[in-house]
Structure 1
Amino acid sequence: MSKTLLITGASSGIGAATARAASEAGWNVALLARSEDKLQALADEIGDAALAIPCDVTKRDQIQSAITQTVERFGSLDAVYANAGTGIDKPGVENGDPDEWHDVIHINILAVLYAAHASMPELKKTKGMFLVTGSKAGRDHMKGSVYGATKWFVQGFAGNLAEEMREWGGRCTVITPGMVNTPFFDEAKPDKLQPEDIADAVVFALEQPKTSSVREIHLMPND
């Protein structure tokens, strides 16, 4: 029976590329995002191995419902990729926008926690994997970067969760890319990392033997 991967932030960029790569590798994919039209178009492209679930990942009840729907459709949940994230338009602290901080903390931190909390009972059954999108910004100090600070949380949380999941045979991987050519940026970045590069890294982690736990994959543009 095929394994099942749930992906947040699946409607475009890294999430959509990962859905395509995982399905090509034989996985079922549950696709979560707020953009229902984009999600359904991607699900239609992938076919029967995909399930589109419109979802606001900052809402705990919606994450729980999405996991329930995924298990009902595919029979199990073998991996979760908490990929949804957002950035900040006004950098720095002194001139920053606290309303932006509120939103970025809810998406980049709380949504990751909610996804982990809701999925652990199902992942325990399959000795599954939790993956999360971190960032180079969560490994380096960047002047006044509140966004970077949220990714430092992700970096630390992933390591701590890996230790917790290890107790029952589960695994956790943080993917920490440098600049990626995604809709996150207003202008295209064709010479930087591509979403498919990150997707390949996710599939690599997913397909490691049970004796191997890839705790982090750090990718940087080659230009």
Structure 2
Amino acid sequence: MAQKTLFITGASSGIGAATARLAVEKGWNVGLFARSEDKLQALVEELGDKALALPGDASQLEEQRRAVDKLAGHFGDVTAAFANAGRGTSAAGTLEGDPEDWQSMVTLNVMGVLWTAKAIAPYLQKNKGDLVLTGSAAGRRHIKGSVYSATKWFVHGYAGNLAEEFREWGARVTVVAPGMVDTPFFDEAKPDKLKPEDIAASVLFALEAERRASVREIFVMPTD
């Protein structure tokens, strides 16, 4: 059986780290991409030789390209990617929002996703693999003045466009849209909301679906 290798952005904590753990449990190799080298190394120590730390900035195309190529060189190929890196903004709304903070967030949430798709596309064209994007329930409804929500609307629209492009190669694209998840994304804990492991399970569901089935969107909302 060919080895399965997954490139994960935003892998140092939260949904990314939970996805890495579950993927390794299910027999995948994982490439862990994030800026926090210390956290990545700690995760590699936990996961063992099926994990590779790839420190880098998701907002930089060449850093993502180098990381994907390094991962392919280490494990032989990259058969899937999870464009998960993203962040919110400090002040909500247009009037109170910080333009520099908007620029930084849009660069990561929008361009960072584009860069993951660009970096992985040559591999998926050859191996008919998978790309998963982290969307959001906020990307399917209108939230007063939310620039963050608008970036996730982009992710949902782009995921559908990518799916139509990649299907010509036999590759698949999925957007996973969580409601509120108890992760470091928020300043305060959200113990009654979703856990990162819930979203990781959705990512692996899409990746491991029978090849005849292309899981385009998965919405995961807190029960309570």
Same fold (TM over 0.5): yes
SS at match of 1:20: helix
Partner of residue 193, structure 2: 192
Partner of residue 213, structure 2: 212
Q: Deviation per CA, 1:63-107, whole angstroms, max 9, x where unpaired?
A: 110011000000011100000000011000011110111011010
SS at match of 2:175: strand
Which amino acid letter does the alignment assign opposite residue 88 of structure 2?
G
Write the distance in 2 (CA, Å) between the matches of 1:187 and 1:93. 24
Q: Does residue 110 of the first structure (1) align with residue 111 of the second (2)?
A: yes
Q: Deviation per CA, 1:30-62, whole angstroms, max 9, x where unpaired?
A: 000000000010011100100001010111111
SS at match of 1:52: strand
Partner of residue 78, structure 1: 79
Partner of residue 146, structure 1: 147
SS at match of 1:167: helix
Q: Deviation per CA, 1:184-205, whole angstroms, max 9, x where unpaired?
A: 1111111100000000000100
Write the distance in 2 (CA, Å) between the matches of 1:58 and 1:89. 19
Partner of residue 20, structure 2: 19
Partner of residue 133, structure 1: 134
Write the distance in 1 (CA, Å) between the matches of 2:164 and 2:62. 26
Which amino acid letter does the alignment assign opposite residue 34 of structure 2?
A
Write the distance in 1 (CA, Å) between the matches of 2:113 and 2:164. 17
User: How far 1:125 moved relative to its partner?
Assistant: 1.3
Alignment of 1:26-45 (within 5 A): 26-45=27-46
SS at match of 2:125: helix
Write the distance in 1 (CA, Å) between the matches of 2:218 and 2:66. 30
Q: Does residue 48 of the first structure (1) align with residue 49 of the second (2)?
A: yes
Which amino acid letter does the alignment assign opposite residue 176 of structure 2?
I
SS at match of 1:112: helix
Partner of residue 174, structure 2: 173
Unpaired segments ≥5 residues, structure 2 = none
TM-score calculated relative to the size of structure 1 = 0.99
Matched residues, number: 223
Write the distance in 2 (CA, Å) between the matches of 1:132 and 1:88. 19
Unpaired segments ≥5 residues, structure 1 = none
SS at match of 2:120: helix
Write the distance in 2 (CA, Å) between the matches of 1:25 and 1:205. 13
Which amino acid letter does the alignment assign opposite residue 118 of structure 2?
H
SS at match of 1:62: helix
Which amino acid letter does the alignment assign opposite residue 216 of structure 1?
E
TM-score calculated relative to the size of structure 2 = 0.99
User: How far 1:118 moved relative to its partner?
Assistant: 1.4
User: How far 1:2 moved relative to its partner?
Assistant: 2.0
Moved over 2 A (4+): none
**Cα RMSD (Å):** 0.6
Alignment of 1:61-72 (within 5 A): 61-72=62-73
Write the distance in 1 (CA, Å) between the matches of 2:119 and 2:203. 21
Which amino acid letter does the alignment assign opposite residue 78 of structure 1?
T
